[in-house]
Amino acid sequence: MSTKPVRTFIAALLLLSLGLLAACGSTGGAEATATDTPTSTEPATRIYKDFSGHEVTIPTHPQKIVLLGDIPGDLLALGITPAGNDWVSEPYIYKEDLAGVVDIGYPHNMEKVLELAPDLILQAGYGGPDDTAIFDKMSKIAPTVIFNRDAETFDRLREVADIVNKKEEAEKWIADYEVKAKAMWEKIGLKPGESATVYLSLAGDFYVMGNFSLTMSLYQPGGFSPSAKVQELIDKKEVFSLISMEVLPEYAGDHVFLLSSPGTDDEAAAKKLVEGPLWKSIPAVQNNHAYTADISWNASDPITMERFLSELPKMMGIK
């Protein structure tokens, strides 16, 4: 699957469910928090070769970062709040942590970016022509670096950390997360091979997730396995699939998660499904292993993943 449909799906996932077509609105400004203190012998800048092959002169310790991309949680996990972001109006689980971040809109409001006067612009890259067009515009304002948006969470966090000189913070977050995740899975106590499936009610349709977003938190060592049909999607590198109601049970694992956006038609559609005979025919439902939740959990940034560690046992009724 090309990266463009993935980006489109992410937009639909987090925007269409709320009736939005693009990030909009604005808030007050915020500067990146930099705890590193340069030494007297440390150069103020360095050369960085980014995901797209650009060699860019960037600040050794950037102080004011504008992030282009839907995963500000990457920076938050490193102790940095971006000054501006083009997806800040999303219904993130950690929305309160983005208070004060300026919404630069999409398409980007270049005047707002200029007003922020960033010393570094971080651009989520998908490997397509759009990357180059955006890079060319942004690099006229400040040093711009493209990172691999489609990398798995730990790899992406390490890449971003390398750019902003926060490698130690990234390794600490990963180590802490692994300890917490291990403890959570031990608490839940799954049987070997116990499987799970994630469904989305979105924009009048139903989707099933491959290994992307929420399933990256579920399909872990000690965690759930994909169902057989979901494994087929993963083998074909399909991160999601639009499915008809009739085949929905075929993808069901031993546990099923149904996500929708609260207070929307999608939530109403999910409720109608849950109350109908098709849903009730699924063994996981009959075994009380079916869970409904906010679609905002369908993300794989570090902050959402970490918070999900305490949320999952609650969903499953485990104290």
pLDDT of residue 136: 97
**Per-residue pLDDT averaged across 18-31, rounded?**
35
| CA 82 to each of CA 63, 79, 113, 138: distance values in angstroms, whole numbers, following the listed order | 9, 10, 12, 16
Using an 8 Å Cβ cutoff, are 220 and 251 in contact? no
Q: Using the CB atoms, write b or e for 89-111: b if 16+ within 10 Å.
A: bbebbbeeebeebbbbbbebbee
Do 288 and 225 fall into the same domain?
yes
Query: Residue 8 — pLDDT band, cuts 50, 70, 90?
Result: very low
Do 295 and 247 fall into the same domain?
yes
Is the model's pLDDT at 9 over the cut of 90? Answer: no
Is the model's pLDDT at 288 over the cut of 80? Answer: yes
| CA 146 to each of CA 67, 125, 200, 267, 280: distance values in angstroms, whole numbers, following the listed order | 10, 6, 30, 36, 46
Task: Measure the CA–CA gap between 213 and 204, rounded to whole angstroms.
Answer: 20
**Per-residue pLDDT averaged across 20-39, rounded?**
41
Q: Which helix (H) or strand (E) holds 242?
A: strand 240-243
Do 254 and 197 fall into the same domain?
yes
**Per-residue pLDDT averaged across 230-235, rounded?**
97
- Max mean pLDDT range (8-12, 36-40, 229-233): 229-233
Is the model's pLDDT at 228 over the cut of 80? Answer: yes
Task: Measure the CA–CA gap between 181 and 313, rounded to whole angstroms.
Answer: 11
Task: Measure the CA–CA gap between 256 and 286, rounded to whole angstroms.
Answer: 11
- Does a structural domain hold residue 205? yes
pLDDT of residue 72: 97
Is the model's pLDDT at 2 over the cut of 80? Answer: no
Do 154 and 251 fall into the same domain?
no
- Does a structural domain hold residue 36? yes
Do 143 and 199 fall into the same domain?
no
- Does a structural domain hold residue 14? no
- Does a structural domain hold residue 174? no
Task: Measure the CA–CA gap between 9 and 15, rounded to whole angstroms.
Answer: 9
pLDDT of residue 260: 97
Q: What is the mean pLDDT of the chain?
A: 90
Task: Measure the CA–CA gap between 238 and 244, rounded to whole angstroms.
Answer: 16
Question: How many Cβ atoms are within 10 Å of 18's Cβ, its own excluded?
Answer: 16
- The structure's pTM equals 0.86
pLDDT of residue 41: 82
Q: Which helix (H) or strand (E) holds 180?
A: helix 167-188
Query: Residue 1 — pLDDT band, cuts 50, 70, 90?
Result: very low
Do 136 and 204 fall into the same domain?
no
- Does a structural domain hold residue 251? yes
Is the model's pLDDT at 34 over the cut of 60? Answer: no
**From 7-21, 248-262, 274-288, the region with the lowest mean pLDDT:** 7-21
Higher pLDDT, 255 or 18: 255
- Does a structural domain hold residue 111? yes
Query: Residue 40 — pLDDT band, cuts 50, 70, 90?
Result: low
Residue 135 exposure: Cα atoms within 13 Å on the Cβ side: 21
- Write the pLDDT tens digit of every residue in 59-113: 999 999 999 999 999 999 999 999 999 999 999 999 999 999 999 999 999 999 9
Do 25 and 154 fall into the same domain?
yes
Cα four-point dihedral sign 209, 3, 171, 62: negative
Amino acid occupying residue 198: V
Do 156 and 270 fall into the same domain?
no
- Write the pLDDT tens digit of every residue in 121-170: 999 998 888 999 999 999 999 999 999 998 999 999 999 999 999 999 99
| CA 181 to each of CA 69, 127, 195: distance values in angstroms, whole numbers, following the listed order | 26, 31, 17
**Per-residue pLDDT averaged across 222-251, rounded?**
97
Using an 8 Å Cβ cutoff, are 303 and 217 in contact? no
Using an 8 Å Cβ cutoff, are 12 and 198 in contact? no
- Does a structural domain hold residue 181? no
Query: Residue 13 — pLDDT band, cuts 50, 70, 90?
Result: low
Do 61 and 98 fall into the same domain?
yes
By CB atoms closer than 10 A (0-12, 13-18, 19+), residue 160 is buried
pLDDT of residue 263: 95
- Does a structural domain hold residue 228? yes
Is the model's pLDDT at 302 over the cut of 90? Answer: yes
- Write the pLDDT tens digit of every residue in 181-215: 999 999 999 999 999 999 999 999 999 999 999 99
β-bridge pairing 225-226 and 195-202: parallel
Do 161 and 29 fall into the same domain?
yes
Task: Measure the CA–CA gap between 109 and 107, rounded to whole angstroms.
Answer: 7
pLDDT of residue 319: 84
pLDDT of residue 39: 55
Number of domains in the chain: 2
Q: What residues make up the domain containing 90?
A: 21-165
**Per-residue pLDDT averaged across 33-41, rounded?**
55
Whichever domain contains 67, its CATH number is 3.40.50.1980
Do 154 and 217 fall into the same domain?
no
Do 72 and 207 fall into the same domain?
no
